[in-house]
Chain A
C-alpha cells in the first residue's frame, strides 16, 4: 500500500533528527557554559563562585539578545557581539545539519522504495520499537522515584545518623542559623511521626472498615437493582471528592465539633485532634473498602451461596459463614489497600492535623504525620543541602517502601485468591 511507502520515508527522515534534537536539548546547557566561560572578565572571576554563577546564568539566559547583554555591563560591547555571533553560528550550524541529515535519510530511504518493497513490515517494526520506548516510561518513573529518593536519603544519612532517624523519639527539624543557638542541631527522630500516622490511620480504619464492609454487603447481597443504582453513586461521589475538600471540611467543621463535644462531656480536646482528621479520613476511605470488597464478594461462586441457602441458612448466615470466609483474602487485601491509602493521604492531615510531633496514643491530642512533615519541610524556598530538606526525602522513601510493601502484599493475596476460584 502506498501509504506505508510514504510512512517509511517520513519515519526515516524524522526519527533520527528528533532523537538528535532531544540530545541537543540535553547538552545545550553544558555547551552554553563552554562558550560563555571564556568571556567572563577577570574581575568577575575574582568575585567568587556565586557571582560567577550569577553572571553566567545571566549571560546564558540573555544570550540571544545583543542589547540586554551590552546594557548588563558584565561584558564589553565587542565581546558581546562576538558571543552572540558565536551563539547564532552554532544555532545555524546545528539547524542546517539537522535539516541536511533529514533530507539525506529521506532520500536514501526513498531510493530503496519499489513496488515489491515490503514497507509495511518495516514501518511496523519501527512503530513497535517506538511503542516499546513509550512503555518503558512507566518503569523510568519508578526508577526515577526510587533513585531520587535513595540519592537524597543517602545524603541525609551522611548528616544525620541512621539510628537517630529510625529509632529517635524526638522530632524537631529546625536547624538554627548560628552554631551557638539553643538546639542548634535539629533532631530527626521519626518515631513520633509514624506513631501519629498510625494513630490517625487507626481512627480512619475503625470508621471505614465497618461502614465500608457493611455497605458492600448490603449493596452486593441485599439491595434490589433500583436501590443499588440509587445508592452506589453516593459512594462514587464520596470517592470523587478531592482530598483538599475533605481537609477543609475537617479543619472547619469536624475539628471544632469534636472539640466542643469533648468539652461537653468534660474532656480536653485539641482543635487539631487526631480524632477529627481520622474521622474525615475514614469517610474518605469508605468507598475504597466498599468497592473492592463488593467486587470480591460478587466473585464468590454462586454455587457456594446457593448451597448454603438450600441448607436453610438465612441470608445473613450465608454472608457471615460462607461468603465472607470465602472472600476473606480479597477483603483483607481491600483493607490493606485502604490502609496504604490512609498512610499516604496528605491534604486532610496537612489541613486538619497538627504540626507538633507528640509521641502519644491519645486520639484527642494533636499529632503530626509523615506526610504533614514532608509538606511543611518542602513548601517554600529551600536549599538542597540542608538536613531539613533532605529529611523530607528520607521520610518519603520510608513512606514509599511501606505503601509499596502493603500494595504488593495485598496484590499477592488477591492473586492467590483469584487462582482458587477462577
Chain B
C-alpha cells in the first residue's frame, strides 16, 4: 500500500514538473526571441562616420546649387588622405568606402546654410554599411579575401583612415528619422512608423463607431430572429478567418472593383478595420453584458427610453471595457502584415507619407522588406525595427491593462 502511494506521489511530482517545464520552455523561447533581437540589433544604433575637410573656397555664392559638384568636392577631400592612390579603379574603390548618400547630405546642408559657401569646414560623412561593419568588428579579416566583402586594400585604407583620428562612431539618426532606402546606412523606419499610424487611425475611425453601434444594436435592440442570429454567428466566424483572406477581399473589392490605388494607407486601414471589427463587437457586447440588469431596470422605471438607457447608463459604465477591447484589437492590427502585402503596401517607399492617400508601408511590412534584403547590415536594422515594434505593442497593451485597472467598475 505504502509502496503504491509513493509511486502515485512520484507520478504527481512528475506531472507538476511537466507543467512547470512547459511554461519554462515557453518563457525560454520568449527570452531567446527577444534576446536574439537585442543582440543582433546592436550594430544598428550607431554608425561610423568621418569628418572630411570640405573646401568650398572655389565656389562663389552666385553659383546655382545644381551646378555645384558636391560629389567631386567630397571625392577630392577623401583622396587627400591617400595621395598615393592614382588609378581610376582604385579611386572608385576608395570612394565606395563612404556612403553614396554623402553628396546629397552635403548639398542639403549647404542649401540650408548658404553661409558656408566660400569657406573651409569639417563635414561629417557616413561610411557605407560594409566599412561600418568592419569598424564594429564584424568583418573577419582572417578569412580569405574572396569570402568577405572588403579586400585587403580596402581594409588597409579603413585602418589608415581610423589612424587619422577623424573617424567617429555616432548614434545613427537615420535609423529613427528616415524613410526606407537601398543603402542600409541611410534607411530608417520613421516612414513606416508614420505609415502604420495613418493606417491605424483609419482603422480606428472606421471600426470603433461601427463596432460599438453594431454591438449596441445586437445587445439591446435586435429582436431575436433568424437575421440577427445569422449576424451573430457571422461575427464570431469572422473573428477566426485568417488575416490573409481579408487581404484577398481588399484586393478583389477595394482595388479591383472600386478602382482604389494600391499601396495607400486608406485601403490598408479599410482592410484592417474589417479585420478588427469582430474583436471590437465581441468586446463591447461582453462589457455591455457585464453591466447589471438592475441599472437598466431602474432607468427604465424612471421613464427613460431604451435609447436613453443605452447612452446615459449602459454605455458610460461599459466604456472602459470597450476601450480595452478596442485597444487590443488595434494592437493586433498594428502588428498585422499579411493582408497589407496583398494590397501593395509592400512597395519601396522613400518619402515619409503625410496623408491617407500617399503611398506608404507599415512597420511590420518594413520588417518583412528588410528581412528580405541581402545586405548584412539590414539584419541589424530589421532586429532594431522588430524591437521597436514589440516595444510599441507592449506599451499599447500595457495602456489597455492600466485603463481596465483604473476605470473598471466593479459591481
Contact = CB atoms under 8 A, between A and B. Distances in A.
Interface of A: 29, 120-121, 123-124, 127-128, 130-132, 134-139, 141-142, 144-145, 148-149, 151-152, 210-212, 214-215, 217-219, 222, 231, 234-238, 240-249, 251-253, 283, 286, 314-317, 319-320, 337, 340-341, 343-347, 350-351, 371, 374-375, 378-379, 384, 392-393, 396, 399-400, 403-404, 407-408, 411
Contacts of B368: 244, 247-248, 347, 350-351
Interface string B209-233: 1100110111001100000001100
Contact of A238 (B29, B214, B216): B29
* Of listed B235, B240, B305, residue having the most chain A CB within 10 A: B240
B23 A231 contact: yes
A272 B221 CA distance: 53
Contact of B15 (A141, A234, A286, A316): A316
A240 B253 CA distance: 29
Contacts of B335: 240-245
A340 B371 CA distance: 26
Contacts of A378: 247-248, 251, 341-342
Contacts of A231: 23, 27
A346 B244 contact: yes
Nearest to B389: A242
Interface residues of B, number: 86
Given A137-B210, A249-B33, A132 B217 contact: yes
B203 interface: no
Contacts of B210: 134, 137
Given A240-B335, A243-B335, 11 more contacts: A120-B305, A135-B217, A135-B231, A241-B30, A241-B393, A245-B386, A286-B26, A350-B341, A374-B342, A403-B240, A403-B241
Contacts of A211: 22, 25-26
Contacts of B386: 244-245, 248
B26 A142 contact: no
B244 A344 contact: yes
In the A-B complex, the 9 residue pairs with the smallest Cβ-Cβ separation, listed nearest first, are A344-B242, A218-B19, A242-B335, A148-B252, A316-B15, A346-B338, A131-B217, A214-B22, A135-B214
Contacts of A148: 248-249, 252-253, 257
B252 A393 contact: yes
A210 B230 CA distance: 35
20 contacts: A124-B305, A128-B221, A130-B213, A131-B214, A138-B231, A214-B22, A215-B23, A242-B334, A242-B389, A242-B390, A244-B335, A244-B367, A247-B368, A251-B371, A316-B15, A320-B15, A337-B240, A374-B244, A379-B346, A411-B237
B217 A134 contact: yes
Contact of B237 (A29, A142, A371, A399): A142
Contacts of B341: 346, 350, 375, 378-379
A323 to B, nearest CB: 12
B268 interface: no
B20 interface: yes
Given A124-B306, A138-B281, A248 B367 contact: yes
Interface of B: 8-9, 11-12, 14-16, 18-23, 25-27, 29-30, 32-33, 36-37, 40, 209-210, 213-214, 216-218, 221-222, 230-231, 234-238, 240-249, 251-253, 256-257, 259, 274, 277-278, 281, 305-307, 331, 334-338, 341-342, 346, 364-365, 367-368, 371-372, 379, 382-383, 386, 389-390, 393-394, 397
B244 A371 contact: yes
A218 B16 contact: yes
Nearest to B278: A138
Contacts of A137: 210, 214, 277
B55 to A, nearest CB: 44
Contacts of A314: 8-9, 11-12
A283 B26 contact: yes
B26 A347 contact: no
B241 A152 contact: no
A118 to B, nearest CB: 10
B214 A138 contact: yes
B30 A238 contact: yes
B253 A237 contact: no
Given A218-B20, A343-B242, A139 B230 contact: yes
Given A347-B337, A374-B244, A378-B342, A219 B371 contact: no
A95 to B, nearest CB: 23
Contacts of A399: 242, 244-245
B304 to A, nearest CB: 10
Given A135-B222, A138-B214, A245-B389, A144 B253 contact: yes
Contacts of B19: 214-215, 217-219, 222
A252 B379 contact: yes
Contacts of B371: 244, 247-248, 251-252, 351
Contacts of A128: 217, 221, 307
A234 B365 CA distance: 25
Contact of A340 (B230, B240, B379): B240
Contacts of A234: 23, 26-27, 30
A201 B25 CA distance: 20
Given A139-B231, A346-B242, A392-B248, A283 B236 contact: no
Given A253-B36, A403-B242, A240 B394 contact: yes
Contacts of B346: 379
A139 B234 contact: yes
A400 B390 CA distance: 29
